[in-house]
Each structure stands twice: as structure tokens, then as C-alpha cells.
Chains A and B, each alone.
Chain A
Amino acid sequence: MNFLDAIWLIPLFPLFGAVLMFLIGRRLDPQPERSPEALEPELAEAMGEDAGQEHGHHPRFAPTRRLISWICPGTVLVSLLFSIGAVVQLAGLAEKAHQVILYTWLAGLPFHMGDGAVGRFAADLGFLLDPLSGVMILVVTFVGFFIHVYSIGYMGHETGYYRFFGYLNLFVFFMLTLVLANNYALLFVGWEGVGLCSYLLIGFYFHRKSASDAGIKAFVVNRIGDAAFILGIFMIFALTGTVRFLDVNQALHGLSAETAGFGVLSLTALLLFVGATGKSAQIPLYVWLPDAMEGPTPVSALIHAATMVTAGVYMVARSNALYSLAPETMAVVATIGALTAIFAASIAFAQNDIKRVLAYSTVSQLGYMFLAAGVGAYWVAIFHLFTHAFFKALLFLGSGSVIHAMGGEQDMRKMGGLKDKIPTTFWTMAVASLAIAGIPGFAGFFSKDEILWQAWSSPYGSKALWAVGTVTALMTAFYMWRLMYMTFWGECRADEHTKAHIHESPPVMTVPLTVLAAGSVLAGWLGVPKAWAFLPGSFHAFEHWLEPVWVAAAHEAGQGAHEAALEWALMGLSVLLAVAGILIARYLYVQRPELPDRIAEASGPLYPALLNKWYVDEIYNFLFVDGLAKGGGRVLGRFDQAIVDGGVNGAGWMTRFASAVSGWWDTWIVDGTVRLIAFAVKMISYPVRFLQTGFVQQYAAVILAGMAVALGYYLIK
């Protein structure tokens, strides 16, 4: 069977599953009437996301529900099989790129571009399979499939099962569209689609207000990035006359790099990168990702760790031809990546919620990927993306298993000593933690080490970037093992009731953990360091496999001066630091558990700063919100006095408005940018609405004023 020509089917299988769920899902899984106790919001809150699993009322579900458990993971499995088939056949091709174009999606009329050439903005509904998208579809379908399987167990007792799987399938559809698209416009379809699904899934537990707030936040932040992204797409079109990846790369191939300064190429690349920072949670748009963890844990694993958030990295790697021409933007990418990595790692130091540690860890690891991309080592970025997908998905699923075992508790201070009670979870998580810490032999070591080496040796890299990366590696090892020690070692700090119920998860959850653990070990061996030249070629397969994707200019960057001795030395240093990090964590949290508190006390303002995420949200607050709320209110007051009625209606509205302001003020102590933007928009919204006083002759006066301005404009001109 020719899988290569059938790649367009790969996204369609999950779409089929999703449509099926929306059409008949409700009949397969009739919603049971909620028991009175489950309707109590406080109780639901108290029991956390696994409410009702162990305690209290078990809703009885229809037997047809099992059908859902077969259909939805099944569609992803079919996609996985098709992906494997297609990638295997791709490997046999001489030209490592295969396009399947179904039809022209967005037809464009020809027009003359600046240089006289005739451009035609035509975007296909077309799919491109090349080594890069091959890696991505394998990651998405493989990890996606196991997370689907895991969800069968994890979501087993939830209502809205069909909705959950419908959204999840829809997400896989959009993600596959994103990575398989052969042009920027179709990529944008997937880009928006995954955002939408992420939104719906974050808000899945809608009885938690914070969840639906987090969803809005995620969507709005992503939208800021998207506005830049879409402008970037149009810029690319204006530059090259096409949006097809292969043609764009070809068109850019002839150009010389913009070394002279910040030109139009750099601007385009920067616009795309702003889009990427939104989706991939980089400074300053990272704020949404930690909040996104309000969604169900499998969602965090799939969307907010393994796949969607890496879309930005994928897109930057995809646009490598453009970035190679814009060294200034590459420097920006690398710097933002490194800063995000160390910044997020420092916040992860002091978090006590197990999922939040992982969330900040994800932000930090994404920073690593951008660091690699920024120094021109695109294959390393993708390599880290690849290994990270395994161990981070595993960590999230493992934490889900822990939370499951603890009856919904997410605070690590109330855990401990779980090592023997949930052994499978423990062992698999330990593997993942070793991997992320960078212990040799585990996947994370290979990719992270390569990133550090490239940061040091690449012509775009620098010692400073390397130093930041290395320090981050130490911090990563520390906070991950802090998590491990707090969770699995020591005394169990849970209350008796919870303690009695601690149990290992069912096989439907632990099997995916085991498979991913195997991946977390093995995935790295596809790209061993160059210094390990004694190993046969297949151990260097990853770089070789991706090679056809990069245009020549980008590839040279990876070929920096290669000194084996230096590489061994740097590798040794990073391993040493990783081990040190683990040992410090062990010393602090196992041997001297009283120490951390004393350090926290002794550290002065540092610890609270970390605990409060460097007060970023509060700084946003102080700088903008306070001023706006008070100043804006005053301006509004004057506005209302001066203009229109100034009368009864206005006053009534002002009261409501003022109370709304003070209401928001409270919630903002814990919230940042998005609320700020939303607030700013609202602040403008009210005066605009005030103009609409409901008084018909005022409308007429405005019409006339409009005419007066129009006429006046011409008379003065």
C-alpha cells in the first residue's frame, strides 16, 4: 500500500472520531443525573479533579460508553500506523519530500510585487511529508495514542466522557494538520485549531472558575501571538510570492543574509517568532501555560507538554531558511530561549503544586529548544522536542497517576513516601526525571548535551548562552529531584483517610507509563554526541535523517569547529552538575528535610520571590493596572460629566462600573498580562458604550457631526 499518497488521510481519522463523538456521543454516553452531593460546588472543588472516583457517589454509566473507549484511541492508532508506513516509505525515497496537494484552497489573483514579478497568493489544501514532519507526526500519533489510552482510565469516572474524547480527537486532527501542512496558511489552520481545542480542554472542568479563566487567558495570549503570525505570513508572501514551504525556501535560498542591520527579512522572522512565543509559552507570553494546567492531566501531558506547545519550535525550524537570513532575529530567539529557560527553572524551584513544577519545567525546556534553534542548530531543537515529548508526557501522566492515587491532592507537601505504594508510577517517573536531569544513557542527556555543545560551538552561539544553559541544567536536575524526593521518599504527610486509599493505577494507565518510559530511555540513542564516534552510524541517525530539511546556510551552523576533547569536557561538566543537582535535592529533602525551610527563611526576599513567580503578575499589576484603574476611573468620571447626559443613566452606569473595577482589582492580585489587556479593552469599551445613550436625537447629532467632520476635512484641505 502506498502510504505516501495517503498522508492526507492521517489527520482525517481523528477528525472522523471527533465528528462521531459530537454527533452520536451523547447517545453512547448518556449523561447521568448528577447526585445532589456532586452538585455541591465546594465539595467538587475539595475533591479536586478526580472527584467521585474513590469516594462518594459513582454515577452509573451506559455500557455503550466502552464503544467510545475503542473508537477514539482507535482512530489515533490508525493514524499512527499510517504515519509509520508513510515514514518508512519516505526513507526509501531519494528526494526526501513528498507533497500531496488535494486542491487549491485559497485562490489568489495575480498581482505585481515590488520587484515587478507577478505573485499569486495561492495556498493549497496540501500536505507535505518530509523528515521534519515525519518526526512530528510520529511523535504526535505515538504519544497521542498512549495518552488516549491512559485517558480511558483517568477519565473513566467523569461525566462528559464523550466530549472529552471528542475534543481530544479534534485536537489530534488539528495538530496533524499543523505539522503536515505544506504551506503557512494551512499551518495556520492547525495553529488556530489546536488553540481552540486547548481552550475547550482547559475549561473541561467548568465547575472550577479558575479553569475557565485559564482557558480564556490561554486563548487571548495565543491570539496576541497569532496576530503577529498572520502578518508574518503575509510578509512572507510579499517577499517571496508564495506560502508553500518548499517554494519559500527555494525563493529565499538565493538571498544573502541580512547582516547590515534589522531589515525586512528580520522583521518577518521576528513576527513569526512572536507567534511562536505565544504558542510555545516564551517570555513574555509564557503566563498562560502554568494556568493551563487547570485542565485534566492527560490534556496537560498531550497538549501542554508534548505536542501543541512545541508547534512554535516546529514552525521556527520549518522557517529555517528565513531565520538563517536574519541573524539578528536568531540572536533574539536564542536570547529569549535562554532567558525563558533559566527564568522558568528558577520559578519551578519553589512551587509546591506538582503540576505547576512540571508546567514551569515545560516552559524551561521549550526555552532550551528555542535556544538551540536560535543558534542555528535546528536539528537539535527538533531532537530535544522529540525526546522531551516522551519524558515530559511521562512526567505528566505519572503525576496524574500520583494525583489519582492521592485522591486529587496536588500539593507535594502533603505527599511523600509513595515509593513502595505505587511502584510502577515511581519507577517510570524516576526514569523520566533522570532523563530530564540529563543523566547519561537517558534520552534527555543526549539532546540537552547537544544543545549546550551547540550553544558553545555554533557561530551563532556564545559562551554566555552556554553558561545560562548549563546553570539551567543544574537547576533542572535540582527541581525535578526535589519533586521526586518530596513525592516518593520520606514520610507520608497525607491525612489518614487519603493514606488508606493510596493505590496503584489500573493497567490501562500504567501500560502507557511503561511504554513512554522505554521511549524516554531509547529515544536519545538516535542522536548520540559526535564525540562518541566509535558507535555505528545508526546512533547518529537523527541528525542525518533531518539533514534534507535544512537549507545549506542553516546547516553550516551545525558544523562548528569540532574538538572532541572540548566536547568531552563540557559533557563531563554538565553531567557533573546534573548529579550535583540531584544530590543537593537529596540532601535537602531526604537527609535534612528541615533545611529547606531554614534556607527559605535565611534567603531573605529571594524565596518569597521565587514562590510568587518573581512577582511578575504583581509587577504588571503595579505598573499598569493600578494606574489605569484609578486614573482611568477619574478620566471616565470627567468624561461622563463633560459629555452627553452627565445625568441619571450615566451615574447608574458609573456605579456599576466602579464596583466592577473594584471587583476586578481583587482578582488581579493574582493575575497578570491578559487581564491587563482585557481590562484595557474594557476600559475603552465603556466610554464607547456611553456614547450610545439610547437617545435618538443624539444619534442624529452624531451622524451630523460625522458629516460636519467629513465636509470640514475637505474644506480645510
Chain B
Amino acid sequence: MLYPITTIHYVILSAALLLIGTVGFLTRRNIVIILMSIELILNAVNINLVAFSERFQAMEGQIFAIFVIAVAVAEAAVGLGILIALFRNRETVASDEIDLLKW
């Protein structure tokens, strides 16, 4: 079960990371940490992709992973930019304090 290491180990590892990222996203108040949780989720995806890539002995997975990283970087940059704009107007980065829009 634990040895040898096969693709499924990576997939389970990835699922666990996805779960932790999701929990972080869902429970933390600080938006910066929520953004970090998104990074965890995307890293989980990358573990998957790289593991499959190795399994198929093909490069697509790795290439996909590069693009996922690019997307993660872009999202982080824009997200942090919006966060700064938000902080400038609201003086808070707590997720449960931004609820002007509702109902």
C-alpha cells in the first residue's frame, strides 16, 4: 500500500492538499490567507498534472502545470491589487466585514 510509490499516491496527496486549501478558503477571515489558500488548491492541481505527466511519459502535464502556475501568479497579482484598493477604502481585510452587497 505505502510502497512502491505509484501515481495514485500523488493523486491522494493532491486531493489532501486540495482539501486543506478548500478548508482554508472557507474558514479563514483574512483575505490574504484566503488568497494563499487558492495557491494551495492550484498546487494540488499541479501535483496531479506532474504525476500524470510522468505516468504517460509525455510533456503535456508539465506544460499544463506551467500554465496553471502562470494563472496562479496572475490571479494573485490581480487579487492583491484589488485587496489594496479595498483596504484603501474600507480599512479591513476581513472577509466577513465586506458585506455591503447582499440580498
Contact = CB atoms under 8 A, between A and B. Distances in A.
A and B touch in the complex (CB under 8 A): yes
Contacts, number: 33
B101 A694 contact: yes
B27 A697 contact: yes
A692 B102 contact: yes
A367 to B, nearest CB: 45
Given A695-B96, A696-B95, A690 B27 contact: no
A693 interface: yes
Contacts of A689: 103
Contacts of B96: 695, 697
Pick the most buried of B27, B99, B103: most chain A CB atoms within 10 A of its CB.
Answer: B103
Contact of B99 (A653, A690, A694, A701): A694
B25 A694 contact: no
Contacts of B34: 697
B26 interface: yes
Contacts of B103: 653, 689-690, 692-694
B26 A649 contact: no
B22 interface: yes
Contacts of A701: 26
B100 interface: yes
A710 B26 CA distance: 19
Name the prevailing secondary structure of the A interface residues: helix
A704 interface: yes
Interface in B50-96: 95-96
Contacts of B25: 697, 700
Contacts of A693: 99, 102-103
A391 B63 CA distance: 83
B26 A695 contact: no
Contact of B26 (A690, A692, A694, A697): A697
B22 A649 contact: no
A302 B43 CA distance: 71
B102 A649 contact: yes
Contacts of A692: 102-103
B8 interface: no
B103 to A, nearest CB: 5
- How many chain B residues sit at the interface, stated as a range, is 10 to 19
B98 interface: yes
Interface in B6-56: 22, 25-27, 34
Contacts of A697: 25-27, 34, 95-96
Contacts of A700: 25-26
Interface string A672-707: 000000000000000001101111110011001000
A486 B37 CA distance: 81
B22 A694 contact: no
A649 B100 CA distance: 11
A704 B26 contact: yes
Interface string A211-250: 0000000000000000000000000000000000000000
B85 to A, nearest CB: 16
A649 B99 contact: yes
Pick the most buried of A649, A653, A695: most chain B CB atoms within 10 A of its CB.
Answer: A695
A700 B99 CA distance: 14
Interface residues of A, number: 13
A619 to B, nearest CB: 34
A653 B103 CA distance: 10
B23 to A, nearest CB: 10
Nearest to A701: B26
A695 B102 CA distance: 8
Contact of B98 (A649, A653, A696): A696
A700 B38 CA distance: 12
B102 to A, nearest CB: 3
Interface string A435-465: 0000000000000000000000000000000
A704 B101 CA distance: 21
B100 to A, nearest CB: 7
Nearest to A691: B103
A700 to B, nearest CB: 6
A653 B98 CA distance: 18
A689 B102 CA distance: 8
Nearest to A693: B102
Interface string A35-73: 000000000000000000000000000000000000000
Contacts of B27: 697
A72 B101 CA distance: 48
A477 to B, nearest CB: 57
A704 B100 CA distance: 23
Contacts of B95: 695-697
Contacts of A696: 95, 98
A653 to B, nearest CB: 7
A692 B25 CA distance: 18
A382 to B, nearest CB: 52
B3 to A, nearest CB: 29
B82 to A, nearest CB: 12
Nearest to A694: B102
A700 B34 CA distance: 11
Contacts of A690: 103
B22 A704 contact: yes
A701 B96 CA distance: 14
B92 to A, nearest CB: 13
A649 B101 CA distance: 12
A700 B41 CA distance: 14
A233 B62 CA distance: 56
B28 to A, nearest CB: 8
A693 B96 CA distance: 10
Contacts of B22: 704
A700 B21 CA distance: 13
Contacts of B102: 649, 692-695
A254 B22 CA distance: 65
Interface in A359-379: none
B86 to A, nearest CB: 12
A231 B34 CA distance: 49
Contacts of B26: 697, 700-701, 704
Contacts of B98: 694, 696
The 9 nearest A-B residue pairs measured at CB: A694-B102, A694-B99, A689-B103, A692-B103, A696-B95, A697-B26, A695-B99, A694-B101, A695-B96
5 contacts: A693-B99, A694-B100, A695-B96, A695-B102, A696-B95
Given A690-B103, A694-B102, 14 more contacts: A692-B102, A692-B103, A693-B103, A694-B99, A694-B100, A695-B95, A695-B99, A695-B102, A696-B95, A697-B25, A697-B34, A697-B95, A697-B96, A701-B26
Interface of B: 22, 25-27, 34, 95-96, 98-103
